Structure 1
Amino acid sequence: MTPSSGSERVAVELAEMRGEIRTGFAELNGRLDLALQRTATAESGIAALEGRVASLERGRWPMPTIGVLAGVAGTATGVLALLR
């Protein structure tokens, strides 16, 4: 083996390693892009759900009000039963 053939082999190996590293980084970047896209989609879905929950919360009757109405209805029913 001549000295030049040894350094040529090293140069070829280094070039192959460089190519593999570039390929690996390209695959990693693709996976990161996909993860970022999925995260953005999930975040927009969460924001939409938060808006829907907020509108439902504004439209519902609060439990204390329902309790008061039930108590008034029960009292009215009791009074009417006594008056008969």
Structure 2
Amino acid sequence: MATPLTEGVTLELERLRSSVDVGFATTRGDLALLLQRADQTDKCLGEHEDRIEALERTRWPLTSLAALTSCAALAITLWQALAR
């Protein structure tokens, strides 16, 4: 035998359950979106790291070339100074 009070409580519990289910579904959707964005950020970060490594690999010969050029200029200057 159901009384009006228990029917009201049952109805409110159903509404509460529905609200909780909707809230969980929304939270799951938000978490899925955040995971997708984190994956995209990781991918972008990996691409940037690859590009930076490529730039660093091509950059190191420039310092060696500059050192060789300055040594050659010094040698030529000394040679000219000693020739006079």
Q: TM-score range by the shorter chain?
A: 0.7 to 0.9
Kindly state the Cα deviation for residue 40 of structure 1 after the two structures are TM-superposed: 0.5
Kindly state the Cα deviation for residue 66 of structure 1 after the two structures are TM-superposed: 4.9
1 CA distance for matches of 2:76 and 2:23?
A: 77
TM-score, with normalisation over the residues of structure 2?
0.81
1 CA distance for matches of 2:60 and 2:79?
A: 27
Identity across the alignment (%): 32
Matched, 1:44 2:39: no
Matched, 1:26 2:25: yes
Alignment of 1:40-79 (within 5 A): 40-61=39-60, 65-66=64-65, 68-79=67-78
**What secondary structure is seen at the aligned counterpart in 2 of 1:61?**
helix
**What secondary structure is seen at the aligned counterpart in 2 of 1:60?**
helix
User: RMSD value over aligned CA atoms?
Assistant: 2.2
Correspondence for 1:9: 8
**What secondary structure is seen at the aligned counterpart in 1 of 2:60?**
coil
Kindly state the Cα deviation for residue 60 of structure 1 after the two structures are TM-superposed: 1.0
Give the number of aligned pairs.
82
